[in-house]
Structure 1
Amino acid sequence: MPSLLKRVKSKMFIFAHRRTLSLLDGEYGSVFKGRSMDFDELRAYVPGDEVRDIDWKATARHGSPLVKRYVAVRRHSVLLVVDSGRNMAAEAFSGESKKDVAVYAAGVIGYLACRHGDDVGLVHGHASASSFLPPKGGEEHLERLLREIDSTITLDGQPSGISGQLDYVLRYLKGRMLVVVVADEFIPDARTEDLMRRLRARHELLWLTVRDAELAPGTETQGIEAQGVLDSTDIGTGTGIPFLLAADRKVRAAYGHAMAQRAELRRTLFRTLGIAEEQAEGSADVVTTVFALLEKHRSGALTSGRRTKRGQRAG
């Protein structure tokens, strides 16, 4: 069976020439700059220590200032959290399967981690169950993760439910990680929003959304006759969408308006939660989407529920 990782790497070098790849490496590495340390012990404060390192609760109990000591973390863990429910077997905006886009996105992030000597793990699943493959290093392990994603996303699988995977990470995985979520385009409910907020507080959290397909794409430029009368199906619900209804101009206008409102709601939600999120329409823009996602997270464009002009992306 052809290697999925080789396919990812070949696409990366098509869309990312040497300079762009080095920029990707730089943006990935910058995610871990700053503290990049694990807690070791408490000790008495001495002049020159960072005020932000003071443990105020311990100081209050002890009666004199105590600061936290840290040890350097030389190897990081990257956790891919991938929606592998049947929603990801639907078409993406580009017309490809969302599964193919998800595999490529996970492959790009994982390959960058491998280049930096970091470990990569995977949590994936659907609304009913989650599976975990612990972080390890090396391209052979990354290939296994990509195959796991590719083989578990099917049209006859269980419906998607990313909240289950987020809950799994919070319940069972300890230690600060870079968590990259690759998921379907959706509006989080109250429970999922709470899980996202808690996950962001515990880990470095980035979110890559694979965009939904258009409603009856191509009808405006090719016409109904050129398209043929082909009905569509909502993979998540199994509901049929008659082509003639989907191609109606009024229906398409109403749908476009609803999707614009939905997109603004999503942007507002991610800004409020302080989570860097970008959307990929297909495999052709995964590399640029990953770069924008890393840059947005690194630059701190999302702070205190606000996004700076630098953090904004056209469209």
Structure 2
Amino acid sequence: MFIFAHRKTLGLLDGEYGSVFKGRSLDFDELRAYTPGDEVRDIDWKATARHGAPLVKRYVAVRRQTVLLVADTGRNMAALAASGECKRDIAVQVLGVLGYLAHRHGDVVGLVHGDAAGSRSVPARSGEDHLERLLQDVHRGTVLDGGPSSIEHQFDYVLRNFTRRMLLVVVADEVLPDAAMELQLRRLQARHEVLWFTVHDTELANRADADAVEVADGSGIPEAVSADPAVRAAYRQAMLEREHRRQELFRRLGIAEGGAGSSAQVLPELFALLARHRSRRRAASRGQRHAG
């Protein structure tokens, strides 16, 4: 029953992925003589002038598109998620599911990952062996003694090195973009299609650990403070307000965001994320038609 349910869920995701990202494009193939009924816009005027008779460009359909996984592999992602699992493991599951769906649809998958010290990339290719390598890179690169997280560095790398339109899948922790990152996201959104998946942190209000440690900077949180009901309540309220600001920012940017705090939430949250992205694309398309 578990295998059946798992396949059924992946089947639903497969259909959702296919309905959103069809990956259709046209590549130039050859020139041929113009015949009545050909599109005028396909005429190659320079070749026509040289040849002395109308020539049109012939294209072939290409189904593949490029999916670029952009992952934070700084030490923040080696901390605990809301479920008590390592955030890295949840991130690998998210990347693996979306990478597998892309593979099933004939798309090629690449990777950019890193921390504040720099970014590393793996060129986009097809195949399950290639996807396995990408996931291993993310798993091995995310350790507690690694560099601090800074997804801005990975965004800067993508902006400098990738100009062809792609589907970008960002997986990071609970980042609240500042003005500089908002500008980066606007540039990325103008050039690519962007999906964001957040791996939620463990919550101070739900933990009773003695002397908890903030992974980002190594600072300690004494138990006397973390156990104080007033501190827990204030923390919970601050996190709710922060999450509201995050959601409002992504809505304003037109970027569909999903998130999970446990591995059990990954598949349903990915389904909801793909559905939201499809809905936003349709709304944007209707807006463009009305503006035209």
Q: Which residue is 2:232 aligned to? A: 252
User: For the aligned residues, what is the CA RMSD?
Assistant: 2.6
Q: Which amino acid aligns with 1:139?
A: E
Q: Is the 8 A contact 2:27 2:62 kept in 1?
A: no
1:83 to 64, 72, 76: 72
Q: Which amino acid aligns with 1:92?
A: A
Q: Is the 8 A contact 1:210 1:281 kept in 2?
A: yes
Counterpart-to-counterpart distance in 2, 1:38 and 1:102: 33
Q: Which amino acid aligns with 1:170?
A: L
Counterpart-to-counterpart distance in 2, 1:187 and 1:181: 14
Cα displacement string for residues 18-46 of structure 1 (whole angstroms, at most 9, x for unaligned residues) = 3322210011112223x832586xxxxxx
Q: Which amino acid aligns with 2:14?
A: D
Q: Which residue is 2:25 aligned to? A: 37
1:17 is paired with a residue whose SS is helix
1:302 to partner: Cα distance? 8.7
The structure-2 alpha-carbon separation of the partners of 1:107 and 1:249, relative to structure 1 and needing over 3 Å to count, comes to: same
After the TM superposition, which residues 2-21 of structure 1 pair with which residues of structure 2 at under 5 Å, given as runs? Answer: 16-21=5-10
Counterpart-to-counterpart distance in 1, 2:237 and 2:103: 42
1:115 to partner: Cα distance? 1.4
2:197 is paired with a residue whose SS is strand
The structure-2 alpha-carbon separation of the partners of 1:116 and 1:271, relative to structure 1 and needing over 3 Å to count, comes to: same
The structure-2 alpha-carbon separation of the partners of 1:187 and 1:39, relative to structure 1 and needing over 3 Å to count, comes to: farther
Aligned residues: 261
Say whether residues 1:178 and 2:145 are aligned partners: no
Counterpart-to-counterpart distance in 2, 1:194 and 1:151: 31
Q: Which residue is 1:58 aligned to? A: none
Q: Is the 8 A contact 1:86 1:160 kept in 2?
A: yes
Counterpart-to-counterpart distance in 1, 2:270 and 2:217: 30
2:122 to 133, 136, 152: 133
Counterpart-to-counterpart distance in 2, 1:91 and 1:250: 23
Q: Which residue is 1:208 aligned to? A: 197
Gapped runs of 5+ residues in structure 2?
29-36, 42-57, 285-292
Say whether residues 1:24 and 2:13 are aligned partners: yes
Gapped runs of 5+ residues in structure 1?
1-12, 41-46, 54-68, 219-226, 305-315
Q: Percentage identity across aligned positions?
A: 57
The structure-2 alpha-carbon separation of the partners of 1:252 and 1:48, relative to structure 1 and needing over 3 Å to count, comes to: farther
Q: Which residue is 2:51 aligned to? A: none
After the TM superposition, which residues 32-111 of structure 1 pair with which residues of structure 2 at under 5 Å, given as runs? Answer: 32-33=21-22, 36-38=24-26, 72-111=61-100
Counterpart-to-counterpart distance in 1, 2:59 and 2:219: 54
Q: Which residue is 1:241 aligned to? A: 221
Q: Which residue is 2:288 aligned to? A: none
The structure-2 alpha-carbon separation of the partners of 1:160 and 1:14, relative to structure 1 and needing over 3 Å to count, comes to: farther
Q: Is the 8 A contact 1:85 1:157 kept in 2?
A: yes
Say whether residues 1:280 and 2:274 are aligned partners: no
The structure-2 alpha-carbon separation of the partners of 1:48 and 1:38, relative to structure 1 and needing over 3 Å to count, comes to: closer
1:16 to partner: Cα distance? 4.6
1:73 to partner: Cα distance? 2.9
Counterpart-to-counterpart distance in 2, 1:80 and 1:239: 31
1:298 to 259, 278, 291: 278
2:170 is paired with a residue whose SS is strand
1:72 to partner: Cα distance? 3.2
1:125 to partner: Cα distance? 0.5
